[in-house]
Structure 1
Amino acid sequence: MTGRAVTFLVPEGIDDPARVSGGNVYDRRVRDGLGARGWRVTTVETSGSSDAAAALGEVPRGATVLVDGLVALRASEALAEASARARTVVLAHMVAAAFPDATARATDAERRALTAADHVIVTSRWTAEELRRRGLADSDRVTIAVPGVDVPRAQASSAAETSALNLLCVGIVAPHKGQDVLLAALDRLSGRGWTCRIVGSSPPSGSFASSVAREAQRFSGRVRLTGVLEEPELAAEYRRSGLLVAPSRVESSGMAIAEARGHGVPVLAAAVGGIPDTVAGGGALLVPPEDPGALAAALDGWMTDPALRRRLRAETRAARDSLPSWSDTVDAVSVALETS
């Protein structure tokens, strides 16, 4: 168990509570979990392409380096050079080419990085299949390490009919998360007694986030953007909420979805990416992506059908015992680092 060492290149600020994202949480849990398993982890935060390239240039011959996918895209040429002298493993949280607004520069950088890497770790079966389909990584170079879930003792009450109309949406306020689709759906349900909390960071220069904030104001306080919440406050939101809504356009696995299920909260989500796999144990409704009408109809069904709510809550409770743990995640990453 001794002597195992890895340099982990991550984006700057993964421990910053104001920069909460699924990728940052995953990176932190992997870093800490590897350390607990006897790995000597040297974590290097990088703030840009030159920073990342310099860090990769310092990786010694024969070393093992684990590179977050965002860092790999920023310094794909340096990663390819590092692969000639060190074992390089890319942790791909998402497939950049799958985004509708992906640029040729980003997709080219992704191809250079992933084809040069000795191994690729992904967070869902969908991501692995997408990489193979796009010719970015063959199956024998890919390890699937799905995000874990901390299942709390306290969870949403199975009889909490009073919370049924409290909707929750968790994720960075950005186009791929689809908060605009959610607001368009809610606009069709103005006669219902719902409330909605949108939890997540808003990029300071993001026109999309500003547009969502403006649209939310039209709902006279029924929609609230909370910004980033620390863990106790977010746990409280799960406890008070009846349904998590995830209207994503692109999603590799959906960590907020898994987290909601750990809290006993059913899910209504777009059937994209790795989401169907994440909710395979039941307790969820899936709708087509980018379809406010279909989302509104599913929300209306949730709000008006007590039998549906009871069924989804029961399925969610039953699925909690089969949710993956972070220990499972780190075990998979550890094996990939040792055998890549």
Structure 2
Amino acid sequence: MTGPPGELFAVLPNDIDDAAAPSGGNRYDREVCTGLTTLGWAVRELAAHGAWPGPHGADLAALGALLSGLPAGALTLVDGLVASCSPGVLAAHAARLRLVVLVHMPFGDTDPAARPAEHRSLHAAEAIVTTSDWTRRRLLELYDLPVGRIHVATPGADPAPVAAGSDGARSGAPALLCVAVVGRHKGHDVLVEALARVADLAWTCVCAGSLERDPAFVAALTARVDALALGDRLRLAGPKTRTELDDLYAGADLLVHPSLGETYGMVAAEALARGIPVLGTTAKGLPEAVGRGPGLLVPPGDAGALAGALRDWLGDGALRHRLRVAALERRGTLTGWDVTARTISDTLRGLPDRAAGSGHCGAGLARN
């Protein structure tokens, strides 16, 4: 593309601004749309209503009608939550539209049954944007895509004041913070078991995140917290606004993120932007967000290893100081959302111009 940025149609899940269901993917989409607008793109947001990523037939028909209404040759960015499970719809429009898929997570990574559909969808795209190097590598492993078709735009981290931590708190106990939707995939049950093993030490923990994704899991987790007599020190606080999260980060000494699998780990970057060290897992793309030095990483799903790392951090002042210094250093290397948006803008502008209605090599779903 030559000249100034043009028009971009962004096909997004219909709930990206739902404050009751915050997610990293939704935050990414919103920040990118805002950033691209700032860079001069005329971003036209289109809400794709449906039960993504498990759409009904009516959802797919509505998506097809949505894409049919776009002008021929339109540059169209489709969120992967919608795209990965809609191969027939994308293939039907690949020759007419310039499709770019934004992949937050490859569904085929953990679900082999999802791979055929995701394979077809990604091969229908002119370009693919991923949110981490790990995701890019995984897509190449799974789908034999042309290397040059996949581009990485890591999430940004907003500048933030250095967290004061628990200094001056009434309890005097180190403050642990976990920011994630409460669910088995985020490792909250592993965290509870690990905290029970260090109950002899002083600490408090707040888990901020939606309690609605898996109510049965939340009920079982709450019962387990009560059975372990941790209720006065561990709080499931529910979803928080950005301002409320800022307050929680400001009082935190350590972010604990026991996720079983992250394609990047935006909350880790958010913590590090405040100089807060991270205790996370070696799962997938999370080490990429943490970087070298400002955190402790343990195998996912291992309560014993997580408890051991907690005991080391809680009991070793020199270790806490070293990780804090490293987190402050990592803080200075993080980039903002403006860089994310510029990376995607450069990707979009780098796509070859083609006449409206002409075909493209991905339309036939063949390898390049």
CA deviation after TM superposition for structure 1 residue 244, in Å: 0.4
**Alignment match, 2:182:** 173
The question of whether the paired residues in 1 share the 8 Å contact of 2:165 and 2:253 is answered with no
Is 1:300 matched with 2:316?
no
**5+ unaligned residues in a row in structure 1: which ranges?**
none
CA contact (8 A) 2:85 2:121 kept: no
Alignment of 1:130-279 (within 5 A): 130-152=138-160, 154-157=161-164, 160=167, 165-203=174-212, 206-218=215-227, 219-279=230-290
Q: Which residue of 2 aligns with 1:6?
A: 8
1:326 to 317, 337, 343: 337
* Alpha-carbon distance in 1 for matches of 2:226, 2:127: 46
CA distance in structure 2 between the aligned counterparts of 1:89 and 1:334, rounded to whole angstroms: 12
TM-score by length of 2: 0.87
Give the percent of matched residue pairs that are identical in Structure 1 and Structure 2.
40
Bigger proportion of residues as helix: 1
CA–CA distance in structure 2, aligned partners of residues 214 and 10 of structure 1: 37
Higher RCO (Cα < 8 Å, 6 or more apart): 2
Q: 2 CA distance for matches of 1:197 and 1:330? A: 32
- Name the CA distance, whole Å, in 2 between partners of 1:52 and 1:243: 43
Would you say the 8 A contact 2:165–2:252 is kept in 1? Answer: no
1:291-320 CA deviation, whole Å, 9 max, x = no partner?
100000000000000000000000111111
Q: Do 2:180 and 2:209's aligned partners in 1 also have CA atoms closer than 8 Å?
A: yes
Structure 1 stretch displaced more, 256-265 or 55-64: 55-64
Please tell me whether the aligned partners of residues 153 and 340 of structure 2 are also in contact (alpha carbons under 8 angstroms).
Answer: yes
Structure 1: which amino acid aligns with 2:309? A
Quote the RMSD (CA, aligned, Å).
1.8
- Which residue of 73, 85, 88 corresponds with 1:62? 73
Residue 85 (1) aligns with residue 96 (2): yes
The answer to whether the Cα contact below 8 Å between 1:120 and 1:137 also exists between their aligned partners in 2 is no
Structure of higher CA gyration radius: 2
Q: For residue 44 of structure 2, what is the aligned residue in structure 1? A: 42
- TM-score with structure 1 setting the length: 0.93
1:164 CA displacement: 6.2
Preserved contact between residue 104 and residue 131 of structure 2 (Cα < 8 Å): yes
* CA deviation string 1:163-209 (max 9, x = no partner): 76211111112222111111111121121221111111123554333
Alignment: residue pair count: 336
Instruction: Give the conservation status (yes or no) of the 8 Å contact 1:145–1:333.
Output: yes
CA distance in 2, matches of 1:331, 1:191: 49
Equivalent in 129, 138, 149 of residue 121 of structure 1: 129
In structure 2, the partner of 1:71 is: 82
